[in-house]
Chains A and B, each alone.
Chain A
Amino acid sequence: MVKLKSNDDKEFEVEEAAVIQSEMIKNMIEDGCATSVIPLPNIDSKTLIKVIEYLNKHINMGKAAETGEEDDLKEFDEQFVNMGWEELFDVIMAANYLNIHELMELCCQSAADRLKNKSVRAVREMLKITNDLTEEEEQEIINDAPWAFEGPEIDDTVN
């Protein structure tokens, strides 16, 4: 068992086989730097619980393929990313920090799916982007490809 500590000082025990799906922790264990508790100063307990849930479910990936439980895993993934935008954002940051490749793929795909039909205004709000383009520069970009700014699918809501 490996002990992980969130930035709000909560400790979680995770099976080594599950936790080494994180390249970062795998390297720490291989280098012998993970003797007691691994502190994760960038991850809060709420996010860490989600990540551990994912790691535990995906621990037997190879086995799942043999026993036909692949659909089950697919369904789990779909359910897993069914979370609020802020929550998804936290999980992406954690997956990136811990270097969990599959989780990163899953969450970035979900983020892209949520963003793809959004209006410029909506995406600026969702990603907290400060617009530093001048009105003229903005107009120039629109004039270059006006078709990209038109269409019934473009959604101005933030969620």
Chain B
Amino acid sequence: MAKRRESTSSNPTIFSYDITIEIFSRLPVKSLMRFKCLSKFHNSLVSGSYLEDMLQRNSIISRLGKIKFFLSKNDDCYSIDLEVKKGEKVFTCYLDFDYDYLSYANGLFSLWEGSLERVRIFNPRTREVKLLPDILFAT
């Protein structure tokens, strides 16, 4: 933890570190992704784990907790609010890779080809895709 704080560049804004976190933890993901561009400090703040912790503590994630995402055939991402049982198209994500199967847990998709080849993790909130290293199965 302390190490990460050191690597964070000096705070170039009028608000202190703590106040910036208080405010940023109330921002939607789209704003956060954009505000990474503000400065080095804000980039490492949004990419770092502190803000994630705060997001989880604040209501944002607990509200999102009721929402489930799913993908349709044409890569449209839908969310479903389980409280009101209403679905809503969130965005089209244009996944630029092929997949045969997908599953969803804890707000993340995993998508893979064939028998667990080229497994990717997709986060619909940040729209980040990570390709996992090949899994070697013991035979």
Contacts and interface: CB of A to CB of B under 8 A. Distances in A.
A147 B43 contact: no
B44 to A, nearest CB: 11
Contacts of A141: 36-37, 43
Contacts of B22: 96, 104, 108
Interface residues of A, number: 35
A125 to B, nearest CB: 11
Given A124-B38, A147-B91, A132 B9 contact: yes
Q: B interface, how many residues as a size bin?
A: 20 to 34
A132 B36 contact: no
B138 interface: no
A82 to B, nearest CB: 18
Interface stretch (B10-18, B103-111, B113-121): B10-18
Contacts of B33: 144-145, 147-148
B40 A112 contact: no
28 contacts: A89-B14, A93-B19, A96-B18, A96-B22, A108-B22, A112-B27, A118-B31, A120-B35, A127-B14, A129-B12, A129-B13, A130-B12, A131-B38, A131-B39, A132-B40, A138-B37, A141-B36, A141-B37, A141-B43, A142-B37, A145-B34, A145-B127, A147-B30, A147-B127, A148-B31, A148-B33, A149-B37, A151-B30
Interface of B: 9, 12-16, 18-19, 22-24, 26-28, 30-31, 33-43, 91, 126-127
